[in-house]
Amino acid sequence: MPSRKAKNRKGAASSLNAEHNQRPVSGFFPFARYVSVVGVHTTLLAFVALFLPRVPRDPLRSPSPSPFLEGLTRDPVLTVMWICAGAIPLQGWWAGWVRKWWIQFSIKGTDAEKRLEENERDRNKFSTLKNAWLATVATSFVVYAVVVLFGAPLLRLVPFRFALTLCSSLLTVTIYTRIFWHVLCLF
């Protein structure tokens, strides 16, 4: 015969499970859409990094160890600028998806209330997008200043260093400013 404590544990566990199953699910995470969009985004970023910045071959120059890497290593500034040019539309597209998911996650209420709130937030979509790109460019200047303060040469490789800071700002800052611009305006 099972002890009384074992019965109480089973009863408590079953009541917790029943209570957990009765609670409405308030979290939202579109895992299938996220995985598919991340796969496409990563593939396109890899394409931008490896195939977009191709520089024409110079027959007078000595061959590099790998013909694939020759186009990437010939002019590093041009390579990074091409990566930035390809990352601009990709990060804008990705930030739009993340912003949409964030809005769907943060809005509570009935379906009609959710649609009204989404329409209200979409009204400011283009001004938020403009502010996100301006914040990205401003952040690239700040990161550039930090890189120089940490000891990068002041007058050598300025275009290359700025292109790298712009690229890092594109890949990190754009999404967060696109989503949280209304929070950033409070400060």
pLDDT tens digits, one per residue of 43-100: 998 888 888 776 665 656 655 566 666 766 777 888 888 889 999 999 988 888 888 8
Picking from 74, 46, 77, the residue whose alpha carbon sits closest to that of residue 61 is 74
Residues 6+ apart with CB under 8 A from 141: 165
Cα-based distances in Å from 187 to 96, 132, 174, 184: 23, 16, 18, 6
Are the beta carbons of 177 and 131 closer than 8 angstroms?
yes
Q: What percent of the chain is predicted at pLDDT more than 90? A: 17
Residue type, 16: L
Residue 18 — very low, low, confident or very high, per pLDDT cuts 50/70/90? very low
Are the beta carbons of 144 and 161 closer than 8 angstroms?
yes
The pLDDT value given to residue 138: 92
**Mean pLDDT across the stretch 119-142?**
85
Are the beta carbons of 105 and 27 closer than 8 angstroms?
yes
Segment among 18-22, 84-88, 93-97, 161-165 with least mean pLDDT: 18-22
Sign of CA dihedral 61, 66, 67, 68: negative
Helix, strand, coil content of the chain in percent (nearest 5): 75, 0, 25
Q: Which residue has the tokens 């990060």?
A: 91
Helices (H) and strands (E) in the chain, counts: 7, 0
Are the beta carbons of 100 and 118 closer than 8 angstroms?
no
Q: What percent of the chain is predicted at pLDDT more than 70? A: 71
The pLDDT value given to residue 144: 92
How far apart CA 138 and CA 142 sit, in angstroms, is 6
Give the relative orientation of helices 31-50 and 76-106 as an angle to the nearest 10 degrees.
170
Are the beta carbons of 171 and 87 closer than 8 angstroms?
yes
**Higher pLDDT pick, 24 / 151:** 151
